[in-house]
Amino acid sequence: MLVLLPPSETKRTDGDGPPLDLAALSHPELDAVRKELLDEVVALAADVEASRAALGLSGRQDDEIARNAELWTSPTMPAITRYTGVLYDALDVTSLRGAAAGRARERLAVGSALFGLLRADDPVPAYRLSAGSALPASSTLAARWKPVLEPVLAAVAAEQLVVDLRSGSYAALARVPGAVTVNVLAERPDGSRSVVSHHNKSHKGALARLLASTRAEPADASAVARLARRAGHTVERTGETHLDLVIPA
């Protein structure tokens, strides 16, 4: 099983790994697009105003642009510990121990606007590029990634179940055929439901932790739902490959 996570805008800014080496990343089929985007982002960082516009940043975030300028030289750390924020706090991968930690590092992956697909231990620097970023003089990131990333994800999905927890903008970079997808819904006392926004990430992070660390090997959406229910989650299967995770409003 592969648990595919969205990245986060916030990232740890330190690291003790060597500078970025594309040969050290998984899925070398993606390296050509990775290098093109890295070089574009580094070059863009020389123009602060253009970087702000392309990346959707304010003047208070110019440190993000400075980090982009050093993508090829700054220290790296494993991708799964580079990302921070609500989802990754709930995942709390560094608290896992023993076999559970090993399973998590095998099963977790991140969909990235800059790197396409990262496995947990892939060493990456801090960077700023989101799925909605509009780099100058280039097509959209989805147009860049789809032709190369969709075949990679299809090959992964042909070998194992993929649980796709990416947000919509990252899912739009490349589809995963047959992946299990999850919505988080809040149920009000009257039984009506609405899509959760504020707490969506924390609940997906908790589900990711469960799936990443369990000894079970679910083979389809029904098995994922059963596993989640045994852990105390309220989960409904609403399609062949789709689940609703229901929480009290």
Along the 249 residues of the chain, how does pLDDT read in single tens digits?
999 999 999 999 999 999 999 999 999 999 999 999 999 999 999 999 999 999 999 999 999 999 999 999 999 999 999 999 999 999 999 999 999 999 999 999 999 999 999 999 999 999 999 999 999 977 899 999 999 999 999 999 999 999 999 999 999 999 999 999 999 999 999 989 998 877 899 999 999 999 999 999 999 999 999 999 999 999 999 999 999 999 988
- Give the separation between CA 115 and CA 35, rounded to whole angstroms: 9
Q: What's the number of domains the chain is made of? A: 1
Q: Of 65, 39, 63, whose CA–CA distance to 53 is shortest?
A: 65
Give me the pLDDT at residue 18, please: 98
Range of the domain at 85: 2-248
Q: What is the pLDDT of residue 197?
A: 75
Query: What pLDDT score does 104 carry?
Result: 98
- Per-residue model confidence (pLDDT) at position 138: 72
- pLDDT score, position 21: 98
Q: How confident is the model at residue 115, as a pLDDT?
A: 98
What was the pLDDT predicted at 137? 75
Instruction: Provide the pLDDT for residue 143.
Output: 96
